[in-house]
Amino acid sequence: MSDRKLNFFAGPSVLPVEVLDEMQSQIKDYQGNGQSMIETSHRGAMFEGMYNKCLSSMRELLGISSDYDVYFLGGGATLQFAMIPMNFLKPGTHADYIKSGTWANKAGKDAEVFGDVKYYFDGSDSKFTTLPDPKTVHASKNSSYLYLCSNETIGGIEWQDFPKREDTPIIADMSSDFLSRPVDVNNFDMIYGGVQKNLGPAGATVIIMKKDMLKRANSPLPNYLNYANHSSKDGLFNTPPVFSIWGVQLVLEWIKKNGGAQGMKERATLKSKMVYDVLDSSDFWKSPVDSRYRSKMNVVFRLPSEDLEKKFLTEAAQNDMLGLKGHRSVGGLRASIYNSCPVEDVKTLTEFMKEFERKNG
């Protein structure tokens, strides 16, 4: 019987037990090489074999063609907020940003440091509880790129479909729903994401970039902040976040064993429906999000009073359910149910929610 608590944190978040067991068994001696993966040279054959397998699995699972680079950087998604406009916001143009919530907003503010930003959509009036219809989204004239965040962890909203690529590049932060569903990578010129939600331990950011984007880059740029340098070195311009990448490689193998991107979509649909069905069952619970754009990764909800929310969190913790407090900026409650969160854990949560309503409703 497992003594692990149920992890609903927004990130770093739950990993598959099988992956943790594999890391534990290999941590001192990786596959009989007499060395740990996290103490070997990133220029050596042992690391290169793991790294190439990781990148190959990523390409396989998302159908990424040779027209795109795939590699990892440090600095989290937050570094990308600055790197993207530094590289691609051309002088005399502007960038279009979809202002959908905390993370897209932070990206837009950083872009303003480097040039003109136009907010194609601003969800402020709705308190970031809805999104524009993707069919209506078109980049404006003279735009360097169109930027969006596919899933806002704090607001609990997620694009269920995406604007179609036209003449202007589309760049997407997919940190919190990466590989939770199939995605047509060819619709995007850049996809990136911190791995600590769906893919592995914190510390790495995956970059998927169409090689043609490098032709659009500004110059000159500092070495590390120039995507062209990372592209030319297959992501090994400097020492990469080895431990995190190893974790990603193992999680990608786990995803393959569990149905790939389509399998993750089915898991996400099942788990999120279990929670939303409870929320929609009575007036005791409230989901503030436009039902058309409800996140399958981060389910946010409220109770009739903050006192009840505090009681809910206390009793949930007493029942070994952690991470259910909403982000400090918005309050309320939130269940993050990423790829690796077991269906059984979500079932336990929903049963607890029903019982809590029975006693307090």
Tokens describing residue 177: 């729903």
What phi, psi does 341 have (nearest 5°)? -70, 120
The answer, yes or no, to whether residue 343 has pLDDT greater than 90, is yes
Name the band, by pLDDT with cuts 50, 70 and 90, for residue 248. Answer: very high
The single residue of 69, 173, 177, 345 carrying the catalytic annotation is 173
For residues 153 and 336, the answer to whether their CB atoms sit within 8 Å is yes
The single residue of 69, 96, 103, 265 carrying the catalytic annotation is 103
Identify the CATH number of the domain defined by range 18-256: 3.40.640.10
pLDDT of residue 3: 84
Residue range 142-168, pLDDT digits in tens? 999 999 999 999 999 999 999 999 999
Residue range 51-83, pLDDT digits in tens? 999 999 999 999 999 999 999 999 999 999 999
Residue range 15-28, pLDDT digits in tens? 999 999 999 999 99
The single residue of 197, 210, 265, 296 carrying the catalytic annotation is 197
Q: Return the closest-CA partner of residue 44 out of 239, 207, 313, 259.
A: 239
Average pLDDT, the chain: 97
173 is catalytic: yes
- Tell me 125's DSSP state: G
Helix extents (H) in 67-195: 76-88, 102-112
* C-alpha to C-alpha distances, 225 to 66, 84, 231, 296, 320, nearest whole angstrom: 23, 9, 12, 33, 42
Residue range 162-195, pLDDT digits in tens? 999 999 999 999 999 999 999 999 999 999 999 9
Residues listed for the chain:
361
Q: State which fold the 260-360 domain adopts.
A: Aspartate Aminotransferase, domain 1 (3.90.1150)
The answer, yes or no, to whether residue 88 has pLDDT greater than 90, is yes
Domain boundary assignment for the chain: 18-256, 260-360
> How far apart, in whole angstroms, are the C-alpha atoms of residue 9 and residue 83?
28
The answer, yes or no, to whether residue 2 has pLDDT greater than 80, is no
pLDDT of residue 114: 97
- Tell me 89's DSSP state: -
pLDDT of residue 1: 40
> How far apart, in whole angstroms, are the C-alpha atoms of residue 203 and residue 54?
16
pLDDT of residue 97: 98
- 220 preceded by a cis bond (ω within 30 of 0): yes
Name the band, by pLDDT with cuts 50, 70 and 90, for residue 42. Answer: very high
